[in-house]
Amino acid sequence: MSVYIQNFMKFRPLLNELVSRDVKIKYRRSVLGVLWTLLNPLMMMIILSVVFSNLFKFDIENFPLYLLSGQIIFNFYNDATSNAMSAVIGNAALIKKVYVPKYLFVISRVFSSFINLLASFTALMLVMIATRAELHWTVLLSVIPLALLVALSLGIGLALAALTVKFRDIMHLYSVFVTALMYLTPVIYPMSILPGWLYKIVMLNPLTNILTMFRSVMFDNTVFGLGELGLAAIETVIFLAAGLYIFYKNQDEFILNI
């Protein structure tokens, strides 16, 4: 175990470089540069708020915020896992030449997405202030669902990255899966409109639980119960452990298949 930690410490600078590369490359040659990380989600949110406060009306107080929070969480999940999926294949040239702990590529992709998540989160706060939504101290607790979300996405990302090396089909399948998953997560609709059987399915989705926790601390000034927290933590640990296991078991064969 200590060997792994030592190795990780040695390559930690690489993690910083990989993340900063991802951020730099994305906004290279644009006048506003890194400012776009904040501007982009902010503009999206403004449009969505305008559209959805006039168009659809579910029986939800401050519907734009409900939608935006759902979008932030789901977009991060989508972004992180999809990017992580291609992390090993995308760095094939490097993996073939030099020894680098391969999980670093997956972690770096998830972290890059996390930076975007932080920007979107800031944008959400700005929107909350602009729409005069009440800010409660419970907002600070949003760290917990966000941390769980990152760990969950990392676990799934690791598994996807390892499996995609063997079966490239997964890349195409996964984008379909994510679309389905989005409708199985209460991003747009409230849970109350679901019929009983569908409600159960949606509750099985680990994202639902995390999203509900996030919303309750952000907008409702209520702290999630221990039951919810425990369930989310268990789900996250299971996915993370499974992801690590799958990645660890397959990593020596990557080089033969990429």
Partner 1 sequence: MENAVIIKVEHVSMKFNLATEKFDSFKEYVIRSIKKQISYNEFWALKDVSFEVRKGDSLGLIGLNGSGKSTMLKTIAGVLKPTKGSVTVYGTVAPLIELGAGFDFDLTARENIYLNGAILGYTREMMQEHYEDIVDFSELREFMDVPVKNFSSGMVSRLAFAIATIGTPDILIVDEVLSVGDFRFQEKCHERIRRMMDQGTTILFVSHSIDQVKSICNKIVWLERGRMKRFGDAEPVCKEYSES
Residues binding partner 1 (CB under 8 A): 10-11, 13-14, 16-18, 21, 24-25, 28, 93-100, 167-170, 252, 255-256
Distance of CA 168 to the CA centre of its chain: 22
Closest to partner 1 by CB, 19 or 124? 19
3-state secondary structure of 185: coil
Q: Which helix (H) or strand (E) holds 138?
A: none
Question: Inter-axis angle of helices 2-10 and 12-26, to 10 degrees?
Answer: 40
Closest to partner 1 by CB, 20 or 222? 20
Closest to partner 1 by CB, 104 or 128? 104
Closest to partner 1 by CB, 146 or 156? 156
Distances (CA, A) of 13 to 102, 106, 247: 14, 15, 22
Closest to partner 1 by CB, 22 or 228? 22
Closest to partner 1 by CB, 212 or 257? 257
Q: How far is the CB of 36 from partner 1 (least distance, A)?
A: 16
Q: How far is the CB of 173 from partner 1 (least distance, A)?
A: 8
Closest to partner 1 by CB, 55 or 98? 98
Q: How far is the CB of 174 from partner 1 (least distance, A)?
A: 12
Q: How far is the CB of 10 from partner 1 (least distance, A)?
A: 5
The C-alpha atoms of residue 41 and residue 37 are separated, in whole angstroms, by: 7
Q: How far is the CB of 88 from partner 1 (least distance, A)?
A: 14
8-state DSSP, 196: H
Distances (CA, A) of 31 to 21, 26, 35, 119: 18, 12, 9, 18
Environment class of residue 26 by beta-carbon count within 10 Å: exposed (0-12), middle (13-18) or buried (19+)? middle
Name residue, tokens 């997560």.
185
Distances (CA, A) of 41 to 36, 49, 71, 108, 214: 8, 12, 10, 21, 18
The C-alpha atoms of residue 251 and residue 2 are separated, in whole angstroms, by: 19
Q: How far is the CB of 223 from partner 1 (least distance, A)?
A: 40
Q: How far is the CB of 12 from partner 1 (least distance, A)?
A: 8
